[in-house]
Every structure is written in structure tokens, then in C-alpha cells.
Structure 1
Amino acid sequence: MAQVDMTGTRRLPFGLLTAWGATRLLLLLFVFKVYVFPGPDVTSDVSVIYQGWYEILRTGTYPLDDVTWQYPPAAALAILSPGLLPFLDYASAFFALAFLADLVVLTLLLYAGARPGRTWRGAWVWVVGLPLLGPTVYARYDVMVTAVAVAALLAGGRHPRLMGALTAFAALLKVWPVLLLLGARGRRAWASAAVTAVSLAALFAVSMPGAFAFLTFQRDRGTEVESLGALVFHVARQFGWNGQVLLNYGSVEFLGDYVDVVSNAALALSAVAFGWLLLWRVRARRFDPQTLADAAFVAVLMFTTTSRVISPQYMVWLVGLAAVCLCFRGSRMVVPARLVLVASFVTVLEFPIWFSHVVMSDGLGIILLFARNGLLVLATLLAALELWQATVPRRVPLPAPDQPTRTKEPMGS
């Protein structure tokens, strides 16, 4: 229960703030290597890949010859952002900005949770969920994208135009936030998003060559070893499948016979998910304050679970959206959110702690992936069911027409 002072103002939850401070200090100690986190070094992407892109981007062009650049044009802003802190080296500045993005999300959730009809459950989800993923959260720019997405969702109820603009900007940082618009009602959010997206895309296209080269690189990706479809090959390797596990297009992927079949099946599942979401949007009639966030959570869950790639940092998106959902007392996403938290903990076990077991497809690696991906599948199905039941009215069967009553004729007539 939140404490309330004599004026009726809710006091900040001391325990929540203490937990956030303690866990974030530990994350910083890991990324700055005061303590060494088990498994491969997750910070090397910042000091090698991100910094390499930084050197190219600052010359005024995108990394056109690097197939690992698979991000929309505004991602350049995230990669260039450490330049705002010239007194720090690149990696240290990036970690500091990721930490600030984390703080922004917490502040937004605390502010939202203090309003009438809201709760600080969402802030607790963020405080607990993010550190479950380990230092990866500060070594990728996804926490920055999530901060913009959280701001967009929380603005959606009262400021749809602002939501649309923030959503468009977030989608140009990383594509998935476009799904936030799924539950938006009226035209203002959609119109604002369209105008902002077209304007920013045109600006990037004319100012820097190669702004949309990422579309080709994304198209050519295969089945990443942590994805749902990859379980087929992890099991197949136990029965003699002779494919390979190689670093390909910036991630560790399966290469070999039937990989294209599984990749196409994943795309087909994503298409089915998209079809279900369209059907829901047509059939939905009840839109409560939490519906916008709940619908976004379901949509991102669906596309994350069915994707050809489920990188550990994708879980940051789900934790952030689950946190927004649980800011609303009426949200029915409590169980799916808890499943996402458990999946986040299993994720840090499979990467980076025991990633070598995943790559080798041994018993431990397969168990971890079945557990994590199984939790995501279960969370997706439950969340979709809850969203449907909360917003789509049941069809009431029409009453049967009255049957005429036959009168008994008198005897002898």
C-alpha cells in the first residue's frame, strides 16, 4: 500500500527506490568491469561494434558495407549520443546514457502510478525485471528505445498527438514501437505518427546516404540460435543434423539444410499473429484506459515470440511494456507480466551465463531454451486471451422464436 501524508499526497515508495538504486549500482559495476559477470563479455558490442559505427556515422554516412547494421535511420542518434559526453570514453558514455534512460523510465512509471486509478506495480515490474537480464541491458541501446516507447504509451490517453510523434520517433530508432499504435482510437495519434515518420525519414534520407539499407540486411537474416524456430535444430542436432552454428549477420545463427524452411515458417507465424491482431482491432468494442498498453504488450509479445531472432535485449521491450500495463489497476496482464519476468531470469541464464551450452545444443542449453521460449509462448497466449475477453463482447445467442401453443379440441366436436 502506498503511504499518504495528511494532505492526501502519495509519498514516494522508499523500498522501491532503494531496490532500484541497489540493483542499478550492481549493473554499473558489471558493465564497468569492477565485477566480472559470468559468460562472454556483453560490453564488447559497445566498445567494438557501436564505436566502429560511431566513427563511420560521424562522417555523415551510414555503415553501408556492414551487414550487421540492421537498424532504422534514427538509430544513428543512439549510436552517436555518447558524443554528448566528450569527457568520457565512448563505452563509459554509452553506459551512463543507458543508465539515464533507465532512470527516465522509472520516473515516468512513478509519475503515472501516482495518478488516480493507477498503481506503482508497474514501477516494481521495471525495478525487478531489468536487472534480471544482467549487464546486457546497459550494453545495448534498447533501453533508450524502451524509454521513448514508455513515454509514448503513457501519453496516449490524454495526448494522442504526442503519443503519435513519440511512437514514430521510437519506430525510427527500432521498428517494433510501431505496434504501440494498435490500440489507439481516433485519427489524431495515427496522423501525428504518419506526419512525424515521413518528415524524419525524409530528413535522414537526404542528410545521410544509406538511411534505409537496413531493410535488405534484415531480409537476409536466418534463424538465430535462441529463437523459437531454432529449437527444431537444437533437437535435430541430437539426431545427426549436420548444420552449422556460425556468427552471421551480427548474431549466432543456424546454417544448413531446412533452415530456410524454418525461417519461412517463423515469418508465416508472424503473419498469423498480424492477422489475429487485425481481427481483434475490428472486433474490439470496449476500450478502457489500460487497453492501449495491453494491446501494445500483446502485439510486441506476439512478434517477439514468433521472430526469427530473439536476442536477450528484446526482453527489455517486454519488461517495459509489462510495466506500463501494470500501472493501471484494471489491467488483466498480471500473469503474463509475471511470466515475462521469469522468462527474463531464464534469459540471463542462457545468455550470457551458459551461452556456450546453447551454442553446443547440449542438454542444459536445450532445457534453458525450451523453458524461456515456452514461457514466452504461454505469456503470449494468455495475454491475447485476456485482451480478447476484456475488449470483444460475447455474442449473445438470439432467443428462439415462441412456438405457438396448440389448444386441445373439446371431445365430440
Structure 2
Amino acid sequence: MDDRRSSAGLTGLLGTWGVTRLALLLCVFKVYVFPGPDVTTDVSVIYRGWYDVLSTGTFPVDDVTWQYPPAAALAILSPGLLPFLDYASAFFVLALLADLAVLVLLLHAGRSPRGARVWVAGVPLLGPTVYARYDLMVTAVAVAALLAGVRHPRVMGALVGLGALLKVWPVLLLAGAVRRRAWGAAAVTVGGLSALFAVASPGAFAFLSSQRDRGTEVESLGALVFHVARHFGWSGEVLLHYGSVEFLGPHVGVVSDAALGLTAAAFGWLLLWRLRAGRFAPHTLADAAFTAVLLFTVTSRVISPQYLVWLVGLAAVCRCSRESRMGPPTALVLAASLVTVLEFPVWFGHVVASDPLGLTLLFLRNGLLAAAAVTAAVRLWRSTVPHADAPSAGPARAAARTKGTPVSS
């Protein structure tokens, strides 16, 4: 009976994945026109333009919208693997394959099917944007890294290093890594690939200085200040700037600096947590990574819709373990994903206009993300940091922390 139920559950899960992904493909191939601005132009125009430049062996350093680490070139060039398709079509097919790869990894690694369910349900909540950005490919690398982490720390480190050179944020997956082999492999991978890119391609690290003059992106937490201020005479404006729609004008620099300050505070909290944590179970690696990425996403001066796929992927890895404490934050992220597709692309015009509907959507989405970040941080702390009045385990606890083995309180 249990085998029949398991088989039926797997069939239903795969069927749901097939139906929802077909719907996403119909949207990006424009068989069905999804409401709001066309999200596929990033692929057909911007990515395609970068492809032409990268194919010559150099980086598009003269394009202010290129703000990515050097390995991002691999994702942009990847549609060349399918020469029988046009660039955009090939990109969408590769995004689908990356999506499928994550599902297979989750089904293979999880003791619980809840992780795969989170992925199957969470990705379509974000709408066609998820197939029209290369973030899904980066998320696939991050998921593979976390799932490898407990048993194969060097593999995890190598994948984290690759992910960091794809889009920086995967370096946060090391937040809960206690084995030096993971850190060492990540450092070697980053160093080796960086040297290779620096020698082979001019402008590989131009991205490091490409965002100095950015404003505050209209969907970020800090942008809520200006959305409200516009109703009280704020004299700034909303412009397409550095590839995204941003607020520019009086006091934007102050809010952007405040966002950086919050990011620094998040880093400080993570450092304090690592110093205080004494119980590292196998699921702590994923729980810590999910919490770290949540904190840095919420405090960023840019919260693009595709960032949510990072969180959905990491939440899915957390839910593969029955012992994970990240159930409530996962639910909040899924709710935020549903609101995200409404604020972009469906009603993005209302967001840009700062009208009541746009304000409501942004307050709701960003509020859900902030609540998820705080909830995840509290749960991570309580599950790993011994109580102040608990007896110390002394050298045994320190040794267990180094080896990454579970420690009882």
C-alpha cells in the first residue's frame, strides 16, 4: 500500500511539474501573452547582444547593464550548445532543463518529498520571468552544492566557487559549512577560474566597479521610502538606470547607504551566529544558507523578481530534511513569490506609478520577505546556539563543530 501511495505521489508530482512548466514555456514562446511588460526581451535583446560580444572573446565592458562576474559568460553563451534553435528559444529550453535537473536532484537526495513539492509549486508562482533570466541556472548549481555538502564537502566547495563566479550570492552557501575542505575547494575554484578569465578575456572583472552610481531599485525594501515620499512632494524621479527601474534624486544615496548598512549588520549577525553556534546537524548547512541568502536579499538595494527563485531553491533543499526548522519561512517565501508575479510583470505599471495598488503589492511582498528573514534567523539561532545557562561541552563540542557532526545540547 505504501509503495502504491509513493508511486501515485511521484506520478502526481511529475504530472504537476509537466503541466506547470508547459504553461511557462507557452508564455515565454508567446503562444500565450502573459499580462504586463514582455519579460523575454532581456533574453532576445540584452542577452543576445552580450552573446555577440562574448563570442569575440571579450566582455561587454562598455554596456552598463553588464554587472556580472566572469562565469556569467558561460550562461550567456550556453544557447550556442543548441545551434539548431534561435538564441532565445535555446535559452528557454536550457532553462527548462536546469529546472528539471533541480527536480531530479531533490527527488534523489530527499528523505522527504516536501523539498521537491516546494520546487514544483514555487517556480511557476514566479511566472515566465523565471525562464527568462539566467538565475534559474545559478540556482541549479547552488542546489547541487548544498545537496553535496554533507557527504562531499570538496564537491560543494567547487560548486560554490563556480556559483559565486556566476552571480556572487552562492558564496553565502558557506555560511553553515564547518568543514575546511569546503572552504578550501571554494577558494581554489574561485582563484583558478578567476585567473583563467583574467588571462583569457579582457574586462572580466569590470563588474566590480560597474554599480557605484546605482540608485535604489523600485522593488526593494528601501524603495518604499520613496514610493511613499512621492505622495508628499518628493522631487526625484523613476528612470531605467543600469538595466533596472530605479529611484534617482534627493536622499536616494542616504537610503542606498542605509541598505548597505543593513547588509553589513546581516553579515555581523551571521558572524556572531557562527561564533555562538554549537549544534551542527546535517540539515544546518541548508538552513544556514537559506537564512543567509534571505538576509542579504531583503537588505539589498535591488530585489528583482528572479531573486525569488534563489530562495525557492534553497527552501526546497531545506525541506528535503524532516529535521529542518525552515517550514514557516518557506511558506512565507512561497507567498512572497505569488505576490511577486503580481507586482512584476502583471501590475508593474502600478508599482512604477507608486499608486495604491502598487504600494500595497510592494508592502505585502517585501513584508513577507522581511518576516521570512527574521523567522529563519530566529529559528536557526534557537536550533543551533546552546542556552546561556546550559553546561558547556568543552573540547568535545569544539571538535564536533570542526568535523561538522551533530552535537546534542
Q: TM-score interval w.r.t. the shorter chain?
A: over 0.9
Q: 1:220 Cα shift?
A: 2.7
Runs of 4+ residues deviating >3 angstroms: 9-12
Residue in 1 that maps onto 2:67: 70
Q: 1:55 aligns with which of 52, 56, 61?
A: 52
1:324: which partner in 2?
Answer: 317
**Correspondence for 2:260 among 267, 274, 289:** 267
The answer to whether structure 1 residue 119 and structure 2 residue 118 are counterparts is no
Summarize deviations over 1:226-272 as a string: whole Å, max 9, x none.
00000000000011111100000010000000000000000000000
Q: State whether residues 171 and 177 of structure 1, in contact with CA within 8 Å, keep that contact through their aligned partners in structure 2.
A: yes
- Code of the residue aligned with 1:360 in structure 2: it is A
Q: Pick one of 172, 176, 182 that aligns with 1:189.
A: 182
Report the TM-score when normalising by structure 1: 0.93
Q: Which residue identity lines up with residue 18 of structure 1 in the other structure?
A: G
How far is the alpha carbon of 1:155 from its aligned partner?
Answer: 0.1
Q: How many angstroms apart in 1 are the aligned matches of 2:348 and 2:210?
A: 25
Q: Does 1:110 align with 2:103?
A: no
User: Are the structure 2 counterparts of residues 170 and 11 from structure 1 closer, same or farther at C-alpha, using a change threshold of 3 Å?
Assistant: farther
Equivalent of 2:36 in 35, 39, 58: 39
User: 1:94: which partner in 2?
Assistant: 91
Secondary structure in 1 matching 2:389: coil
1:272-295 CA distance string (max 9 Å, x none): 000000000111110111100000
The aligned runs of 1:201-350 (5 Å cut-off) are 201-350=194-343
* Cα gap change, 1:397 to 1:135, in 2 (>3 Å): closer
Q: Which amino acid aligns with 2:3?
A: V
- Classify the secondary structure of the residue corresponding to 2:211: helix
Secondary structure, counterpart of 2:323 in structure 1: coil
Aligned match of 1:410: none
Question: Structure 1 residues 10, 290: closer, same or farther in 2, change over 3 A?
Answer: farther
Gaps of 5+ in 1: 399-413
Post-superposition shift, 1:217?
1.1
User: How far off is 1:5 after superposition?
Assistant: 6.5
Conservation of the 8 A alpha-carbon contact between 1:339 and 1:376: yes
Q: How far apart are residue 4 of structure 1 and its match? A: 2.5
Cα deviation code 1:137-177 (max 9, x no counterpart): 00000000000000000000000000000000011000000
Match in the other structure for 2:20: 23
Tell me the matched-pair count. Answer: 391
Partner of 2:397: none
Residue 400 of structure 2 corresponds to none
Q: Which amino acid aligns with 1:236?
A: A
Which range moves more in the overlay, 389-398 or 296-305?
389-398
CA–CA distance in structure 2, aligned partners of residues 356 and 190 of structure 1: 44
- Counterpart amino acid of 1:68? T
Matches within 5 A, 1:355-370: 355-370=348-363
Cα separation, 2, equivalents of 1:306 and 1:204: 30
Structure 2 residue matching 1:218: 3-state secondary structure: coil
Instruction: Provide the alpha-carbon RMSD of the alignment.
Output: 1.4
Call closer, same or farther: CA 1:167–1:391 in 2, change over 3 Å: same
Distance in 1 between residues matched to 2:306 and 2:154, nearest whole Å: 29
Alignment correspondent of 2:381: 388
Q: Distance in 1 between matches of 2:213 and 2:299?
A: 17
1:150 and 2:149 matched: no
Name the counterpart of 2:403: none
Equivalent pair of 1:340/1:375 in contact (CA under 8 Å): yes
Q: Percent identity?
A: 74
Q: Is 2:373 aligned against 1:376? A: no
How far apart, CA to CA, are the structure 1 residues paired with 2:120 and 2:15?
A: 10
* 3-state secondary structure, aligned to 1:219: coil
Aligned-partner residue type, residue 63 of structure 1: P
What CA deviation, in whole Å up to 9, does each residue of 1:353-400 have, x standing for no partner?
Answer: 0000000000000000000000000000000000000000001179xx
Give the deviation of 1:185 after TM superposition: 1.1
Paired letter, 1:4: D
Q: Distance in 2 between matches of 1:127 and 1:201?
A: 34
Deviates more, 1:211-220 or 1:337-346: 211-220
Q: Which has the larger radius of gyration?
A: 1
Consecutive unaligned residues of structure 2, counting only runs of 5 or more, are 392-409
Structure (1 or 2) with the greater helix fraction: 2
